[in-house]
């Protein structure tokens, strides 16, 4: 075992190395704690595990110790452990206490200040920030007692990540699934980095991404080549800076970014409705490549080839999401950012779009450049009412980080 830290009898940790005390509760999802531990160790974060009796029914102390590169603590009344490190010292030996999975029982004990085992005693004795990742049956999560306990802990300053909605091992569907290890990892890193690294804490962001799909008949439709990568990267970058992000996504095959609430839609009208429902927001970033037109009335059955030639299609204009959300009103975001995918005269068209749509910024790019539309890189112009900035070509996640930082500066 390579890592030792926490008392004067241990090897000193590196200056600046972050430490997490990880409490692993019981439940089928406990295996995710192993994956989380690996992510933390790869990032250079030291992990000291506490394994509950229920947690040990799902993961072994040996596997947890091997991945953490440290001893696993299980028994409150182990004289050896008390001699080496008392439970009070253990509870304060890290920069952050993480509970994953946080069962209904652990949450209830923490909320009521109970201390009958090592995990609950640690939570009561610690003077460090606490992050919990709940996991339980949907009915248990929605029960008023659990919701009261969550409210109590939030009022005490405990942070939460998840739970997510989905199918569970018990066969039910709904909120209660343990957040994915990547999402918990992102929340841990944000907590360890502190408020300076989260300038958008408390801010709400709305992001649209990907193409829309306008049906012609049950199998055909009008769409475009947008991959959604830039919008998803922006949503993730905003979440990393602390924003509460709602991502309205067209039909794309991309994983949901950690810490982001995702709503899937298909048509422009659905995207507009979902965007309006997500308000109020401090910033709206409208990256989606929305179809300008749709068929007046989609056919109910598949169109067949006829001797008379192809059918005549009547098109009507789709709602303008950017212009609608830019319009003055009580729920208009403080900062509205539009995107312009252009094939020529990029800056000229972007500035005209800025005036026409009524937004605050336009981020424009030339989609004729190889690797931009559907690819992994982008080169953009930031067009505001006061000037234009040309950014060098870079990976879309780096462009997204730069955009998110500029948004944080603009929101103060």
Q: Which residue has the tokens 């409208």?
A: 286
Is 339 marked within a binding site? yes
CA distance 118 to 76: 5
Is 322 marked within a binding site? yes
CA distance 158 to 106: 13
So which residues are the catalytic ones?
170
Q: What pTM does this model have?
A: 0.61
Burial of 116 (0-12, 13-18, 19+ CB in 10 A): exposed
Is 156 marked within a binding site? no
Structural domains of the chain in order of their starting residue, each with its CATH number = 19-193 (3.40.50.1950), 197-411 (3.40.50.10300)
Is 307 marked within a binding site? no
pLDDT in tens, the chain (412 residues): 444 454 433 333 443 578 999 999 998 899 999 999 999 998 889 999 999 999 999 999 999 999 999 889 887 766 455 555 566 778 778 899 999 999 999 999 999 999 888 999 999 989 899 999 999 988 899 999 999 999 999 999 899 988 887 666 666 776 788 988 888 888 898 888 766 667 898 899 999 999 999 999 998 999 988 899 999 999 999 988 889 999 999 999 898 887 789 999 999 999 999 999 999 999 999 999 999 999 988 888 888 888 777 888 889 999 999 999 998 788 899 999 999 877 778 888 888 889 899 999 999 887 666 555 556 778 888 999 888 888 888 888 889 999 999 999 999 8
Q: How many helices (H) and strands (E) does the chain have?
A: 14, 21
Is 282 marked within a binding site? no
Measured over all CA atoms, what is the biggest interatomic distance in the chain, rounded to whole angstroms? 91
β-pairing, 361-366 with 380-384? antiparallel
Is 299 marked within a binding site? no
Is 353 marked within a binding site? yes
With a CB cutoff of 8 Å and minimum separation 6, the contacts of 229 are 254, 374, 375, 376, 396
Residue 163: asked if its preceding bond is cis (omega within 30°), the reply is: yes
């Amino acid at each position: 075992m390579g890592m030792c830290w926490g008392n004067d009898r241990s090897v000193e940790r590196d200056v600046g190395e972050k430490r997490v005390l990880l409490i692993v509760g019981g439940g089928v999802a406990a295996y995710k704690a192993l994956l989380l531990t690996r992510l933390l160790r790869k990032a250079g974060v030291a992990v000291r595990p506490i394994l509950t009796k229920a947690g040990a029914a799902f993961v072994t102390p040996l596997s947890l110790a091997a991945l953490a590169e440290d001893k696993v603590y299980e028994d409150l009344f182990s004289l050896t452990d008390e001699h080496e490190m008392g439970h009070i010292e253990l509870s304060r030996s890290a920069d952050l206490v993480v509970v994953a999975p946080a069962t209904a029982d652990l949450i209830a004990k923490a909320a009521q200040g109970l201390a009958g085992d090592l995990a609950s005693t640690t939570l009561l004795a610690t003077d460090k920030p606490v992050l919990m990742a709940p996991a339980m049956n949907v009915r248990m999560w929605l029960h008023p007692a659990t919701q009261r306990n969550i409210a109590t802990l939030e009022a005490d300053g405990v942070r939460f990540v998840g739970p997510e909605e989905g199918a569970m091992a018990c066969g039910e569907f709904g909120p209660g699934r343990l957040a994915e290890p990547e999402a918990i990892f992102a929340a841990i890193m944000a907590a360890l980095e502190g408020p300076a690294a989260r300038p958008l804490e408390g801010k709400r962001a709305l992001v649209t991404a990907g193409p829309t799909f306008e049906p012609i008949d049950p199998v055909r439709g009008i769409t475009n080549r947008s991959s959604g990568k830039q919008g998803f990267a922006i949503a993730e970058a905003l979440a990393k800076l602390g924003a509460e992000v709602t991502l309205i996504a067209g039909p794309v095959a991309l994983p949901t970014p950690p810490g982001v609430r995702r709503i899937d839609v298909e048509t422009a009208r659905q995207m507009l409705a979902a965007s309006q429902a997500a308000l109020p927001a401090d910033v709206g970033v409208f990256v989606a490549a929305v179809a300008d037109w749709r068929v007046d009335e989609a056919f109910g059955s598949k169109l067949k080839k006829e001797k008379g030639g192809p059918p005549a299609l009547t098109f009507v204009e789709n709602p303008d999401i950017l212009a609608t959300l830019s319009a003055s009103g009580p729920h208009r975001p403080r900062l509205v950012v539009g995107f312009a995918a252009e094939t020529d005269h990029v800056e000229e068209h972007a500035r005209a779009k800025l005036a026409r749509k009524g937004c605050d910024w336009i981020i424009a790019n030339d989609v004729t450049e190889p690797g931009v539309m559907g690819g992994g890189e982008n080169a953009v112009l930031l067009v505001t009412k006061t000037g234009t900035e040309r950014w060098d070509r870079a990976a879309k996640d780096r462009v997204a980080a730069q955009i998110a930082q500029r948004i944080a500066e603009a929101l103060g």
